[in-house]
Amino acid sequence: MSPRSNRTEVCIPSPTWASASGMSDDPRFGLSRHVTLPGPLRLDGGGLLSPVDIAYETYGALNAEGSNAILICHALTGDQFVASEHPRTGKPGWWTRMVGVGKPIDPARHFIVCANVLGSCMGSSGPATVNPATGRPWAMSFPVITIRDMVRAQAMLLDRLGVGRLTVVGGSMGGMQALSWPATFPDRVKAAVVIASTARHTAQNIAFHEVGRQAIMGDPHWQTGDYYGGDAPSAGLAVARMAAHITYLSEAGLTEKFGRRLQARDAKSFGFDADFQVESYLRHQGLAFTDRFDANSYLYITRAMDYFDLAEEHNGHLANAFRQTKARFCLVSFDTDWLYPTAESRAIVHALNAAGAPVSFVEFKSPHGHDSFLLDAPEMNRVVDGFLRAEQ
Amino acid sequence: METLRPDLAIIAANVAPRSRVLDVGCGDGALMAALRDSRGVDARGLELDAGNVASAIARGLSAVQGDADVDLADYPDHSFDYAILSQTLQTTRAPDVVLEHLLRIGRHAFVSFPNFAHWSVRWSLLWGGRMPVTRLLPVEWYATPNIHHVTIDDFRAFLKTRDITLEQAWFLSGDTRRSSAAANFLAEHAVFLLRR
């Protein structure tokens, strides 16, 4: 299914989407919401953040028992537009295959919340937002944040929305949040779905991120982060995206899609144009990314991911992270994902078993590497649907 | 509720209500679903095949994709009341190690397997000179997942040498129960309840 083909079915909020039982009149609920919470948010790095801006969307309505809330956590460069049109790119939501009417996460049955993570650039507090103390963008004076800080900010939002217990769902960095949630709020999480994710960043994960950060910081436009109002370090950010994008794919996927085919030419140019289709594709991916993402946000969020080590937060034993929680867990990995390979999911399953937590896990075959979780995966949908429907 | 395979029906009828069960080789979760629905059992499954795991999860069960030969080592001691291994023992690379894990993880273990000393198997080898392809062992020698065939008497002898307590045993011919008399010759299928 091409992204375009499902555009009509997801982008327009139908009457069932945000309007049930009087929620439509409440400005807290609906598309493109924004809230400024007083905070302060105590950060893992030691500082306090206040106020805390959070941009988010909600679909569906919280039921009378308050039992149908699902928080969707987005990945590194994702955003709150999980099932509605992105305001800058005009593209459909990033997970319309999973979220929408008739999908496993369904606004007709669930109250769905997706918030832009702390440190990002789609409306939540981050380096590009204005520091109220100075009236200027935070830039690099924004505090370094962690995955757990993102989760605590989400909890503040959910308090505001009247959500108590909830189910958390996320892929990639969203999966890190979905793991951090029950570890941080053990009584609040009913169930967690963790897709193509990991409980810690490996040396290789950190290494790829460092390449991206150095590309940004090596761009003369970066200006130690004070580029707001001038030219952004787009060339550096584009290279960061290109390097990262390779890690989201697989060799087999790249070979199938591009092989060694040349781009709009019959012969090699004996120059340094994008001779190969794969070069042209990566350049396009890099460039398009700079239209929608802030370079400093990229630095902060990759840092948060690199700092993530759930075992380290619990005396070196991952099982300790889950000893307090009653949550059910569902983990999914993909066989060609070399960014967060199946072994990482298995290590989490092992820890959950050791902690006695109810856990399901399955590895699916897909040629598309890490990005598989965003693509058409009917088996993944079947598993997530069954898992979400099973109430204890 | 779907009809359970006869060996699974025996196991299901003999698991204590509201106990904790690990079903090793749980398939699509038929036994786990029956235990959950009829006995309030907290069942977890381990299964090699991704499609089966997906089916089990899709029916609301907790199932983990994994290999009994590899992944049982990850489960803590006595974390379940029962560990169940139905029709899977003969497919493992190291059945003795798998059995030791079952008895370590569960306070009791159910083990069921097709009896390779059943008369029809003997007949096939003796008169046909061919590896038996029977109702319970339906696959040709080159494709069979059953790599460690075992007989009821083999299994009893193994229990003795390993000092494993046999709590109860059930024997099946076709879909019907039969006595333990001459079971090694007459039973197609055996179910054992064991403990350490």
**Quick one: A140 and A19 in the same domain?**
yes
Q: How many domains does chain A contain in total?
A: 2
B188 CB-near residues (< 8 Å, 6+ apart): B114, B115, B118, B120, B134, B135, B136, B172, B173, B174
Q: Do B74 and A353 touch (CB under 8 A)?
A: yes
- pLDDT for res A258: 96
**Quick one: A196 and A152 in the same domain?**
yes
Residue A172 catalytic?
yes
Q: Do A379 and B54 touch (CB under 8 A)?
A: yes
Residue A2 pLDDT exceeds 70: no
**Quick one: A83 and A196 in the same domain?**
yes
**Tokens found for residue B47:** 């299964």
Q: Which residues of A touch B (CB under 8 A)?
A: 328, 330, 346, 349-350, 353-354, 356, 358-365, 379, 382-383, 385-387, 389-390
Q: Please indicate, yes or no, if residue A293 is contained in any of the structural domains.
A: yes
Look at the block and give the residue holding tokens 């994702």.
A78
**Quick one: A354 and A274 in the same domain?**
no
The domain that holds A288 is classified in CATH as 1.10.1740.110
* Assembly ipTM: 0.89
**Quick one: A198 and A340 in the same domain?**
yes
Residue A22 pLDDT exceeds 80: no
Q: Please indicate, yes or no, if residue A115 is contained in any of the structural domains.
A: yes
Average pLDDT over residues A26-34: 96
- pLDDT for res B134: 83
Select the residue of A363, A386, A390 nearest B50 (Cβ to Cβ).
A363
Contact A172, A196 (CB under 8 A): yes
**Quick one: A197 and A224 in the same domain?**
no
CB contact residues (below 8 A), chain B span 63-92, against chain A: 63-66, 71, 74-76, 79
More confident: A189 or A14: A189
Q: Please indicate, yes or no, if residue A304 is contained in any of the structural domains.
A: no
Residue A160 pLDDT exceeds 80: yes
Q: Which H, E and C letters describe chain A, residue by residue?
A: CCHHHHHHHHHCCCHHHHCHHHHHHCCCCCCCEEEEECCCEECCCCCEECCEEEEEEEECCCCCCCCCEEEEECCCCCCCCCCCCCCCCCCCCCCCCCECCCCCECCCCCEEEEECCCCCCCCCCCCCCEECCCCEECHHHCCCCCHHHHHHHHHHHHHHHCCCCEEEEEECHHHHHHHHHHHHCCCCEEEEEEECCCCECCHHHHHHHHHHHHHHHCCHHHHHHCCCCCCCCHHHHHHHHHHHHHHHCCHHHHHHHCCCCECCCCCCCCCCCCCEHHHHHHHHHHHHHHCCCCHHHHHHHHHHHHHCECCHHHCCCHHHHHCCCCCEEEEEEECCCCCCCHHHHHHHHHHHHHCCCCEEEEEECCCCHHHHHHCCCHHHHHHHHHHHHCCC
**Quick one: A188 and A249 in the same domain?**
no
**Quick one: A151 and A38 in the same domain?**
yes
The answer to whether domain B6-116+148-195 has CATH 3.40.50.150 is: yes
Instruction: Sort out which chain A residues have CB atoms less than 8 A from B54's CB and list them.
Output: 362, 364, 379, 382-383
Residue A286 pLDDT exceeds 90: yes
**Quick one: A89 and A170 in the same domain?**
yes
pLDDT band at B1; cut points 50, 70, 90: low
Interface with chain B: mutation pick from A195, A345, A361, A366, highest number of B CBs within 10 Å? A361
Q: Please indicate, yes or no, if residue A305 is contained in any of the structural domains.
A: no
Average pLDDT over residues B3-28: 95
Instruction: Sort out which chain B residues have CB atoms less than 8 A from A358's CB and list them.
Output: 42, 44, 62
Chain centre to alpha carbon of residue B92: 11
- Please give the biggest Cα pair distance in chain B: 49
Note the pTM of the prediction, 2 decimals.
0.92
pLDDT band at A207; cut points 50, 70, 90: very high
Domain range holding A225?
205-299
- Taking the C-alpha atoms of residue B189 and residue B83, their distance in angstroms, rounded to an integer, is 19
pLDDT band at A23; cut points 50, 70, 90: low
Q: Please indicate, yes or no, if residue A306 is contained in any of the structural domains.
A: no
**Quick one: A254 and A125 in the same domain?**
no
pLDDT band at A391; cut points 50, 70, 90: confident
**B57-89: pLDDT as tens digits:** 999 999 999 999 999 998 999 999 999 999 999
Burial status of residue A117 (CB atoms within 10 A of its CB: 0-12, 13-18, 19 or more): buried
**A303-335: pLDDT as tens digits:** 999 999 999 999 999 999 999 999 999 999 999
Residue A231 catalytic?
no
Mean per-residue pLDDT of chain A: 93
- pLDDT for res A381: 96
- pLDDT for res A5: 37
Please report, for chain B, the start and end positions of each structural domain, with discontinuous segments joined by +: 6-116+148-195
**Quick one: A191 and A226 in the same domain?**
no
**A46-93: pLDDT as tens digits:** 999 999 999 999 999 999 999 999 999 999 999 999 999 999 999 999
**B110-133: pLDDT as tens digits:** 999 999 999 999 998 999 898 888
- Taking the C-alpha atoms of residue A110 and residue A319, their distance in angstroms, rounded to an integer, is 30
- pLDDT for res A99: 98
Q: Do A386 and B60 touch (CB under 8 A)?
A: yes
pLDDT band at B136; cut points 50, 70, 90: confident
Residue A350 catalytic?
no
**Quick one: A263 and A385 in the same domain?**
no
